Amino acid sequence: MTGCRFRRCLLLACVVCLMPARVGAEEGVNFTESQKLTFPTMGLPASGGSVNLTISPLNSSTSGSAQIISGVASRGQYALSLSPGGNPVSISIDITGVTTGNAGLTLDNFRGFYGSQTIDSFPSPTLPLPPRSPASTPLYIGARATANSAVTPGTYNASFSVTIFIQ
Give 3 or 95, the one with higher predicted confidence. 95
Q: For residue 4, is it within any domain?
A: no
Q: For residue 5, is it within any domain?
A: no
Q: For residue 18, is it within any domain?
A: yes
CA atoms of 128 and 71, how far apart (whole Å): 35
pLDDT > 70: percent of the chain: 84
Query: By residue range, what is the domain housing residue 123?
Result: 11-166
Q: For residue 2, is it within any domain?
A: no
Q: Please, are residues 110 and 95 in contact by the beta-carbon 8 Å criterion? A: yes
Q: For residue 1, is it within any domain?
A: no
129 phi, psi to nearest 5 deg: -65, 145
CA atoms of 73 and 160, how far apart (whole Å): 17
For the chain, the domain total comes to: 1
CA atoms of 109 and 47, how far apart (whole Å): 25
CA atoms of 68 and 115, how far apart (whole Å): 30
pLDDT band at 138 (very low <50, low <70, confident <90, very high): very high
Q: For residue 51, is it within any domain?
A: yes
Q: The pTM is what? A: 0.86
pLDDT band at 86 (very low <50, low <70, confident <90, very high): confident
Q: For residue 136, is it within any domain?
A: yes
